[in-house]
Amino acid sequence: MKLLAALLVVPLTSGMGWQVLAYRGIPPHDVRFSASGLRIDVRKSAAPLIYPLGQPVAVTTVRARGRISGTLNNPADRQGESGFDDYAFRLGLVEVGERRLGFMERRLAPAWVRKLFSLAPPGMGVSRIRFFNVGVEPGQIGRRREHPLSELILEQVVTVPDREGRFELFVRLESAIETAAIWISTDGDDTRSTYTVTIERIELNGPEGGLSGGFTFDASGARAWTSRGVDPRGSTQRRTCLAYTAPAGVGPDSTRAERRP
């Protein structure tokens, strides 16, 4: 699949392009876009935030930076279990695949599943969401699983916050993931937790060479896609163009969905 070389500017200080959802029967978050970044106030609540990328992007590395203020009331040895399935930050990549919902599946599937499959590019389907989680204690790092309530979710704990609540997330994938959207999940409903997450930067990078590159989202600047190509002399040439437009569905979109997994 051919990836275009472009620089699309969508700052974390604005809700343009983001879709803010709410689960049925669960209090929603208070979500704000400010000069400090994307701020999510969790008040015994849960909700996903989705950013469609407009076209599939081959992602090989993932980076994120932010801070957590307050306490997630979740013991490390129980986190992820029924009644304790809250994480302060899960960064998900919606992976393009061949699976599509049939007629009866669309009628019976929870709203979040229908939303997930609606993110597929035209003529394509979805494989799953690949989540990279911020845990509670260092001993959790490396823990991975298929979610017990849905085979559509694979997740792995990749980092934990420091004593000040700051976290840095970095993942180098074994192979590129064709990504249709970013899916952020932050939870406090199971553990009745109250805290705030501020996301300062998210960066998706593609493979070196060819029409590939990376997205950057940050509080100070923008969302940027940069294409890297190798010229005949062997040096790396950066090709970019500017477009102050966002994918379809511009603006914060609030959608209600059934119970989260």
Q: With contact defined as beta carbons under 8 Å apart, do 244 and 7 qualify?
A: no
- Per-residue pLDDT, averaged over 6-25, amounts to 72
The residue ranges of DSSP E strands in 26-159, in sequence order, are: 30-34, 37-43, 46-71, 89-97, 125-134, 144-146, 153-159
260 found inside a domain? no
- Please give the angle made by the CA atoms of 66, 7 and 120, to the nearest 5 degrees: 80
In a domain, 48, yes or no: yes
HSE at residue 252, side-chain half, CA atoms within 13 A, is: 16
Identify the bridge partners of residue 94 per DSSP, sorted by sequence position. Answer: 129, 181
208 in a structural domain: yes
How much is the pLDDT for 26? 93
pLDDT of residue 156: 96
In a domain, 256, yes or no: no
Q: What is the pLDDT of residues 51-95, one digit of tens each?
A: 998 888 888 888 899 999 999 999 999 999 999 999 999 999 999
pLDDT at 3 over 80: no
pLDDT of residue 128: 95
Going by C-alpha positions, the residue among 4, 19, 49 that lies closest to residue 225 is: 4
What pLDDT is recorded for position 144?
Answer: 93
Q: How many domains does the chain have?
A: 1
**Is the residue at 174 inside a domain?**
no
CA–CA distance, 66 with 60 (Å, rounded to integer): 21
Residue 146 domain boundaries: 7-167+181-226
- The answer to whether 171 touches 107, Cβ cutoff 8 Å, is no
Confidence of residue 12 (pLDDT cuts 50, 70, 90): confident
- Considering only CA atoms, which of 121, 145, 117, 148 is closest in space to residue 131? 145
Please check whether residue 244 lies inside any domain of the structure: no
pLDDT recorded at residue 70: 96
Span 134-156, pLDDT tens digits:
999 999 999 999 998 899 999 99
Q: Give the pLDDT of residue 232.
A: 28
pLDDT score for 210: 40
CA-nearest of 97, 147, 150 to 119 is 97
Is the residue at 28 inside a domain? yes
Q: Is the pLDDT of residue 244 over 60?
A: no
Task: Kindly report the pTM of this predicted structure.
Answer: 0.80
The pLDDT score that the predictor gives to residue 2 is 47
Q: What is the pLDDT of residue 233?
A: 30
Q: What is the pLDDT of residues 178-206, one digit of tens each?
A: 999 999 999 999 999 999 999 998 888 87
Q: Is residue 240 part of a domain?
A: no
Average pLDDT, the chain: 80
Contacts (Cβ under 8 Å, ≥6 apart) of 103 = none
Q: So what's the pLDDT on residue 154? A: 96
Residue 184 to residue 39: CA distance in whole angstroms: 12
